[in-house]
Amino acid sequence: MASEKIILTGDRPTGRLHLGHYVGSLRRRVELQNEGDYKKMFVFIADAQALTDNIDNPEKVRQNVIEVALDYLSAGLDPEKVTLFIQSQIPELCELSFYFMDLVSVSRLQRNPTVKTEIKMRGFAGESIPVGFFTYPISQAADITAFKATTVPVGEDQQPMIEQATEIVRRFNNIYGPTLVEPQIMLPNNAVCCRLPGTDGKAKMSKSLGNCIYLSDSAKELKKKVNSMFTDPEHIHIEQPGHLEGNTVFTYLDAFSTDEDFSLFLPEYACLDELKAHYTRGGLGDGTCKKLLYNILNARLEPIRQRRAEWEKDIPAVYDILRRGTEDARAVAAQTLDEVRRAMKINYFDDADLIAEQAKRFKAGAK
């Protein structure tokens, strides 16, 4: 039997995608796409969500829609297999969000840990937080449920969003009858991939910290960034024992290296464990490890760069892909919204029975 899985995920277009996105989700999406174990797969650009906290910067969002689309295509997402679309072009998502707002309390939103941290990060004082930003978990629930997604591959920071979506689905189905589908989160398959640190060793790659390696970085930029990466500040001389804990070069090697990489780039060691043993014993310099990491990352990024260069030559074709994907996605969302309106009893014009029944009742002189 064909798989019934409907996979859906997306990104905010606030910058080019980086290695954190790649190990955290993009790489997995391409694998899922190629395994083909799904009925439908959607990957979308969450521009409306990006606007919730970039209200005064529409141009940034607009420019990054194409950057993210290029990153998707160059990372290997295939528009023949995956529906790529732009969130804001699907008005059904706004409609569904509006209905969902009846099902969620202010206190429930305030308890959403991701929203809590983001409110703190952005320094919104008291109640000055924009309503649209505060309620974006509701709109995210609409993104997921409008397509009846069963499987949502995202990073662990998105767990509260999926939980909130699940609650909304349960509440909706309880009140209006079974209509929507409960989504399941699909987390990255190992801990390193959940949160790749920045090149400076800080907890997360983030554009504002300037510690990202972008998928679109050139080999030269990559080399510079790898060479300046945070390692072990106590490892000053080669002969000293080095520490792996918090050593970003090794964290990246954990996330990216395979045994084949060793035979290709550093055959003196069979695998990462051997390299780690030498490093902690002493006698292995950071330079050697960085050179290995550069070679591995460059091997991963080179095909992505080449595909990007091709797509960059035909931007109108990229917009055509997005337009077609958006049309396709909109048809699916429209179907769900028909079912939602019917369940909510607001499908007046499509309900011949309703009209006939009321006509009869009024004719009979009932109230």
Binding site for ligand TRP (CB under 6 A): 8-12, 46, 49, 140, 143-144, 152, 154, 158
237: which 2 tokens? 């001389």
d(CA 217, CA 305): 8
- The whole-angstrom separation of Cα 339 and Cα 333 is 10
Task: State the Cα–Cα distance between residues 140 and 163, nearest whole angstrom.
Answer: 11
Q: Which residue in the block uniquely carries the two structure tokens 């990054």?
A: 64
Smallest distance from the beta carbon of 168 to ligand TRP, in angstroms? 13
Nearest Cα residue to 75 out of 295, 253, 301: 301
**Shortest distance, CB of residue 46 to ligand TRP, whole angstroms?**
4
| Residue with smaller CB distance to ligand TRP, 144 or 301 | 144
Three-class secondary structure of residue 18 per DSSP: strand
Please, which residue, 85 or 294, has the CB nearer to ligand TRP?
85
Q: Which is nearer to ligand TRP, 144 or 226 (CB)?
A: 144
Residue number with CB closer to ligand TRP (8 or 333): 8
The nearer residue to ligand TRP, 10 or 198, going by C-beta atoms, is: 10
- Give least dist CB 35 to ligand TRP, A: 19
To the nearest whole angstrom, how small is the minimum distance from the Cβ of residue 358 to ligand TRP?
Answer: 39
State the minimum distance, in angstroms, from the CB of residue 158 to ligand TRP.
Answer: 6
CA–CA dist 10, 27 (Å, integer)? 13
Measured between alpha carbons, how far is 220 from 298 in angstroms, rounded to an integer?
10
- To 10 degrees, what angle do helices 315-343 and 58-75 make? 100
